[in-house]
Amino acid sequence: MIGHFRGDNMKNVLITGINSDFDNCLAKKFMAEGYDVFILEDGKTLGVEKLDFFIDTTDYVHENDGSSVREGVNWDAVEATFRNNPLKSMALLEAHLPLLDAGEEKRLFYLTQSRASINETESTTGYGYNMSKTALHMFIHLSRNKLAPLGYTFRVFDPLTGIVDAKAAAESAFTYITRRRGTDGDDGLRDDEDNLVIWDALGRKHSW
């Protein structure tokens, strides 16, 4: 843990790393709103008994992951990307699941980009990022199938880096993370929490 920022609303937030302006703005937003914010450092333990919000900021992009099959894909960059985007996220969730089980909110947040939607992408390059994030999307679905009956809810978010200002994107993400999604009483068929989607910083929904 490289940072513990104590708030007063008794809800613990774990942010798995600060790797971008967006991550930084999101951490500051949680602090400003009175949450207890923990920022992870490899090999350190948290020293808390429960976590409420799990913010996985893993969103690895390799600088050499920009070639098509005609140009020659850099497979070392692809491997490095896979070892981060799905695999690191899998390890992080497994490691913190006991603390999340003890928490009240049980809400998990993941970063992605809409270019990693099989249905929407127009990419011809970035095999490492797109394929690894697609694997992550499947991991999120499989985890949801396992964890939703235990009270877990999920948020998947595209901050639209380079399109939306990082602070504005963090405001969108904070609302998305902390606000419950709509439901019509006890009608399970009209509960949007059951509808796992990618939302972006402009409030648009993307398919998988």
Partner 1 sequence: MPNVFITGADRGLGLSLCKEYLNRGWRVFAGKYMEDFALLESLAHPALHVIKLDIGCMKSIAAAKEAVLKVTNSLDMIVSNAALMGDVNCELYKPPMDLEIPWDYFRINALGTIKLVETLLPIMDQGEMKRLCFVSSEAGSITLMKHRGAHPFPYSMSKAAMNMGVRMLHNQLYKDGYSFRIIHPGWMKFRKQDGNLEESGRFDPDYIGQWAAKYFETPRADEHRLAMVDYREYDWPF
Distance CA 69, CA 74 (A): 9
Q: Between 132 and 178, name the residue whose CB sits nearer to partner 1.
A: 132
Residue 65 Cβ vs partner 1, minimum distance, rounded to whole Å: 12
Neighbours of 79 (CB within 10 A): 13
Q: Between 2 and 118, name the residue whose CB sits nearer to partner 1.
A: 118
Distance CA 35, CA 37 (A): 6
Strands 107-111 and 187-191: unpaired
Residue 199 Cβ vs partner 1, minimum distance, rounded to whole Å: 16
User: Which residues inside 85-104 make contact with partner 1, applying CB under 8 A?
Assistant: 86-87, 90-91, 93-94, 97
Is residue 181 close enough to count as binding partner 1 by CB under 8 A?
A: no
Contact 193, 202 (CB under 8 A): no
89-109 CB burial, b ≥16 within 10 A, e <16: beebbeebbebbeebebbbbb
Query: From the list 147, 166, 169, 201, which residue makes contact with partner 1 (rule: CB under 8 A)?
Result: 147
Residues forming contacts to partner 1 in the complex (CB under 8 A) are 68-70, 72-73, 75, 78-79, 82-83, 86-87, 90-91, 93-94, 97, 116, 118-119, 121-127, 130-132, 134-139, 141-147, 196, 207-208
